Structure formats: structure tokens, C-alpha cells
Structure 1
Amino acid sequence: MNAEPALRAAIVPGVGALPAEDWTACFPGEAEGWDYYRACGNDRAAAVFDDRGLVLGAPLFRMEYRLDTPLQGRAAAVAQRLGDAVPGLMRWGMLGVGSPLTERCHVAVRPGLSPQDRARALAALLALLEAEAARTGDRLVVFKDVAEPDAGWLAPVLGAHRYAAVGSLPVAVLDLGGCDAAGYLASLSPATRKDLKRKLKSRASVRIEHRSGIDGIAAEIDALYESTRQNSQVRYGEFEDLPDGYFQNVARMQPGRTRFVLYWVGDRLAAFNLLLLQPDRVIDKFLGMAYPLAREHNLYAVSWMENVRFAMESHRPLLQVGQTAYASKLRFGSRLAPSTNFVQCRNGVLNRIIRGAAPWLALDRWDPDLRAFRSRRPDRAS
């Protein structure tokens, strides 16, 4: 019987320290790829190697995670007061696998690896993460936003290592395959179609510009993003923070996969979209708007249809419109692709509590738009 190849697990200084060709082979065509992680300033990754090179790798991040992050509205306000009264109660050190700046947990696995070898490499990665969390004093190790079909092979191994599956925010995706603008509008309910057409009349007063870079307007882009963040009805703490120079760096480091759509009202930049491009989809990554100007000109609806048009004209059948702000996305025909966080606490007693409380800790349970959507469905979950 042939001996299994020896594995070596190590923390490396970011995805950029791994061979670009090995990473790209695991995620061909991915817009949030090797260059994207470098643009985001990712400076830590975990990797497993054998004598042929990279077997498995994943980006890492660290933060002080607030246990009340999933809560919104009045529940969040109560938890905030409790956390302020008892410092340290709500904030736990967290070692995260993935990135706050992606909607998918990228675990790179060598193509063609057998299920047994894949599970063995993952076990080596988990041992490394446990040792690293012990070294840094982090209570939690979290695989953030594991999407299907990755959950199919990750979940059994993570479950065997006492990770709890906790619902994350689903990703909204609009299917546009084989459709033109008229066909898309016809697919909407009569009331939604009428409302959208009415709002699109504002298009006449808006000048739309497509760019690959933001030279000369970077400060305005940052301000519009912050304006939209402050106007949001939901809060997800440090997960909403962007590193300094994020928009400029993404544009500079992957120009062929980045597009900014700018919305001008007169001489004023009233809104922008950052779009990431991959062969099968347009990813509407970030939206920033000036208030109240954007509402006065219905720029959300105008930008939505501009992105639909661009996706169709560039022959990309999917428009991925992200997490949060689900009300309009669902009304405009999006489906929800599920996402899961896998969580382990290094304290055994607390880990059992987390596993039991997993349904209550799920981010998708507390999102107000999702709660309203599910309350209207006859098959809604409890």
C-alpha cells in the first residue's frame, strides 16, 4: 500500500503569497480572485502543502466579533446597552476563514483531489486554525459565508470537528438567461412592473457613465459609500468596514474585471455602482448614493435597470446583487442563494451552547426584509 503523502500546514502572508496559477485553477474566471484579495489588503492565509505544492488554502481575517451582530432594530439596541454595561460580555476574538469583503468563503482545493484526500487536507487545516486561535487568544473560529455546493463537502468534516452550522445572509441573484429587457419587465408582477416603469422616467434627468477607474473622484466615491451605509436600516458592524483605498485598489489591480457605473445629476455625482465581472455573471458589489438626491431621482431603480441592461448586453446570464436590502431585490425578481457560517468556540461548554442556540444566532433570522418576506409565505419556517 502506498503511503499517504506528508502534509504541511502553515500560516502565510495572504493569498498573494500563494502561487497565482494554483489559486486561479481552483476558481477559474472568479472575479473575487487572487488579484482581488491582494487589492483588499489580505495579509493572512492558511495553506496546506504536499511535495507537489498547494493542496488546500483559504484567506484569513481577525476581528473582535460582537455577539449581537445578527440582531437588528430594538433587539440590537437592548444588546448594545447590555454590552456597554458589561464590557467584554459581547466582544469575542474571532479568527475568520474567508473575508468580510467577499460573499463566498473561498477554500481553494487542488482540482482532481479525491474526497478522502480533500477531507485529510481539511483536517490538517483545522488543526492549524485551532493552534493559531489558541496562540492569538481568539475564542471563535468561523468559516464565513460557505455557499453551495462547497457546504456539501465542508459540512461533514466541520461537523465532525464540532463546528455548528449557523445561517448567514443569503446572496440575492437575478437570473436573466435568454431574456431581453422587455421580457424581464414582463416577468414581474403587474404592480411591480408599473412602479418600476414609473420610476424609470427619472432616467431622462440622469447622465450615466461607465468607467474602469475612478481617478479624480475617489473621495466622492468613498463619501457616497459611507452615505449609503449610514442610511441603511440594518447594521453589521465591522463587516461593513472597507480598508483605506479599497475602490481605487480594486480598480487598479483588476481593471478588466472592474467597472464603475456613475450616475450624474447635473454636475453632481449622485450615485455609483461597483460591478465585478466574471464570465457567467455581473456582481453588483457596492452601491453608494447621495441623499436625498438619489431618492428624488429614483436612482436605485435606474441603477437596477442599467445593471440588468449591461448584464444582458455583455451576455452574462446572472446579475448577483448581494446580501442585505432584500425587499426591492426580491420584488424585482431575485432568488436567494443560501449561505452558512460554520462556528466553533474553543471553550467546550460555550461551544455546546452555541450549537444549541444556532437557530437564534442566524443572521438571516433577524434581517427585517427576510422576516417580512418569510411571513408572507405559506410555507414559512418557524
Structure 2
Amino acid sequence: MTCALQPLPAPLRPEVAYTGCLEAPSLIAGFLRHPPVGFDARVSHQGLPYFFTPFDLLTTADDAFVERVRGWPGYGLWHAWLRIDSCFVGTTVSEYAPFPQGVSPQDLAQWLQHECAPQRALTIVKDVPCNSPLLSEADNHYAQALINECTRRGFISLEGQALAYVPINFSGVDDYLARLSHSRRRNIRRKLRSREALHIEVLQTGDARFNDDAWLARLYGLYRAVYDQSEIHFDLLTPAFFTELLRDAHSQGRVFCYWHCDELVGYNLCYVQDGKLLDKYIGLNYPLALDFNLYVVSWFVNLEYAIAQGLDFYVAGWTDPEVKASLGASFTFTRHLVWVRNPLLRKLGNRWRHHFESDTQWHQEHTS
């Protein structure tokens, strides 16, 4: 069997209809045209996006396991071996892996095992949904069938990350806060007082102001500030990617800008899609954004916007589950399907897989 191993030229990449994808196809297309720094993004002949990039195996390991490995003899000499040139199936701009419609789980699993996985030492099908309340029954059924088929073929199935979301089943902020504990309500209300000093502006993507290159550079700089202070550095998005997103008038993007006098304190890029407000990217002007508690303020501004628009869900993304839990989020989980080309290492990976399921362990402790 043959496979399209080279990326398609950008003008020839059609926008594919996907199963189990919350985002508009244009966001996936933007990822393929302008992949993150160091990513080699490609698309299969079926329309499945995937990418190659070096990956540090300890990136998603729990803290105790990382400390244990770093204590092994000679770690400073051989730790570079843990950085492996890997293949990831999916994207880093979609909440779930986008699977092309019209390709059965069995055919997709066969392609993954026989054509995709042999290209690299490690292959990860990332963010496969598991009974997601954000998807249709048919989408969840497809995802479970793919998980079953891949595990039958020897893929290691790992618990993935915690995706935060809020069902919009309340009439306003006071109703929402009433569901939280007294101490959390008091803490949140204290932080929300910062909102009184802010001017909030909502721009649609494609607005004429995004034609200003200097303004775009400023927005990208605030995104980069958030990326640089993050503990995990994996997918550094490019200025070209952000430019395409912000100038796309058809994507239903909303840019929430927070101003104090004439100073941009931060912004939040969200998308309205199929009854959901998808929170995708945030840019913060440090330390001003911390002074104004912008993370908490933006959370409640987004909730109010979702209520006003009659939406069903606010989808708040993957990172910082502890903070999002304190703000009242619910969580749904994914699975990662991992193929290790070396059979011996595959057995070891299966034995140690629980060390790479930290979000699930956190959630179990949190709910208990």
C-alpha cells in the first residue's frame, strides 16, 4: 500500500469534513499551512492531519516519575535519548483529533499501523474522545470503535488530558456562583472587582483593525508571553498562523480585548461553533494582567457572552485543570493511542503507562 508522505501544497489542501471535531475546518487548515515551530505537518490521502516533531518522553509524565528517572545513574549523559523524533496523529489546535468522515475506524486503524507508525519510533494518536458530552452519539461511537480497533492491534491506550467545559444551564453569574462553595465565591467576587477598572472590547476576526501589522505583532507578543511562562513548551504557534486566524472573517472568531485606559492588559481568542464558545488562545500583558486578575475576569466574561448568545457550552481547554476546577468547570477525558515501534520498549511502555496519566490521577483525587 502507498501513502501520501509529503505535505500537500497549501492551495491544494481542501477543507475536510471531520468526525468528532469541535472546531471549524478552517482552523485545521491553518495548522497545516502554518504549523508550530519545529513541526512537519502533513495530511494523509484520506485527509487525516498528522505531524512529525521531536518529543521528550518526560513531558507528560507525573512529577514523581520524572524525579525518579532523573535520579538514575548517568542521567546527565543519556537523557538526550529520551527526546525521540515522533509522529503525532491529530493537531495541537483542535480539542479532539479530527478524523476524516467517510473513513471507517477499521480502515483508519489499518493505515495507522501499517503506513503511519513505521515512519517513526513513536506514534501517538492524540486526544481521542471518550463519551464526550460535547459530541454526538455517532461521534463518540466512532471514537470508541477506533480505540477498540487500535488496542486490538497492539496500540497502548493511555488516559489523556482533562478537557474543561461548563454547561450553560444557568441564567447568570450569580446563579453560577451559587453552585460553588462559600470560600470560592468570596475569592472569585474579590477578584472580579478588577473588572470595574477595565474596558472590554469584542472584535470579530476579520475586523479591519487586524490589517495593522504592528497591532498583530503586539497580540502575538502577548501570546508568546503566556507560552514562555508555561511549564510545558511543545507547540509554539507562529505569527503567520495567528495572522491567518485573526484576518479570517468567516471563522466565527471573537477576540475579547481587555483595556485599562490605553493599555492592552490582555485578550482572549474564542470561536462560536455549533452552540459552543471555544476558548482557544489567551495573551497576557505581565504583570498587569495578574494585577487585574484577568484570567478570572475573562472566564466570567466568556460565560456571560455564552449566555447572551444562547449557547449550550463554554469549552475552556486543556491546561490548568486545578484552576479551572476552582472556577466551577466540569471535565471530560480523552485517550491517547500509542504505538512504540520496538516490541520490547512497547512492553515497557505498557507497564509504565500509568505514569503518563497525571490528569486522571489528579481528577480522581480532586473528586474524592
The question of a shared fold, defined as TM-score above 0.5 by the shorter chain, is answered with: yes
- Which one of 97, 105, 108 corresponds to residue 105 of structure 1? 97
Q: CA-to-partner distance for each residue in 1:122-157, whole Å, 9 max, x for gaps? A: 3134322134x1xxxx20111011112253111111
- One of 60, 84, 109 as aligned partner of 1:122: 109
- When normalised by structure 2's length, the TM-score is 0.83
TM-score by length of 1: 0.81
- Counterpart for residue 159 of structure 2: 167
The percentage of counterpart residues that share the same residue type is 22
8 Å CA contact retained: 1:31, 1:257: no
**CA distance, structure 2, for counterparts of residue 188 and residue 245 of structure 1:** 41
In the alignment, is residue 238 of structure 1 matched against residue 234 of structure 2? yes
Distance in 2 between residues matched to 1:312 and 1:266, nearest whole Å: 27
Q: Are 2:127 and 1:140 equivalent residues in the alignment?
A: no
Write the mapping of 1:252-271 to structure 2, written as runs, cut at 5 A.
252-253=247-248, 255-271=250-266
Contact 2:251–2:271 (Cα < 8 Å) also in 1: no
Q: 1:74, CA displacement in angstroms?
A: 7.7
Equivalent-residue separation in structure 1 for 2:54 and 2:83 (angstroms): 6
Contact 2:90/2:126 (<8 A) preserved: yes
Aligned-partner SS, 1:274 = strand
Deviates more, 1:9-18 or 1:171-180: 9-18
Change (3 A) 1:268 1:321: same
Q: Structure 1 residues 88 and 254, CA, compared in 2 at 3 Å: closer, same or farther? A: farther
- Counterpart-to-counterpart distance in 2, 1:374 and 1:330: 13
Alignment gaps of 5+ in structure 1 = 1-6, 49-56
Aligned to 1:202: 194
Matches of 1:33 and 1:83 in 2, distance apart?
44
Partners of 1:73 and 1:85 lie apart in 2 by 21
Q: Distance in 2 between matches of 1:46 and 1:12?
A: 9
Among 1, 10, 29, which residue is 2:4 paired with? Answer: 10
**How many angstroms does 1:294 deviate by?**
1.3
Cα distance, 1:83 vs structure 2: 5.9
How many pairs are equivalent?
342
Secondary structure at 1:184 match in 2: helix
* More deviation, 355-364/282-291: 355-364
Q: CA 1:358–1:38 in structure 2 vs 1: closer, same or farther (change >3 Å)?
A: same
Greater mean alpha carbon deviation, residues 310-319 or residues 7-16? 7-16
Offset at residue 69 of structure 1 (A): 0.5
Matches within 5 A, 1:281-360: 281-360=276-355
Q: Secondary structure at the match of 1:272?
A: strand
Secondary structure of 2:60's match? coil
Cα distance, 1:342 vs structure 2: 0.7
Matching residue of 2:246: 251
Task: State the partner residue of 2:53.
Answer: 63
How far off is 1:162 after superposition? 1.1
Deviations 1:158-181 (Å, cap 9, x if unpaired)?
A: 112211011221100111135333
Structure 2: stretches of 5+ with no match in the other structure: 36-40, 131-139
Contact 2:279 2:314 in 1 (8 A): yes
Amino acid at match of 1:336: F
The whole-number CA distance in structure 2 between the counterparts of 1:118 and 1:96 is 17
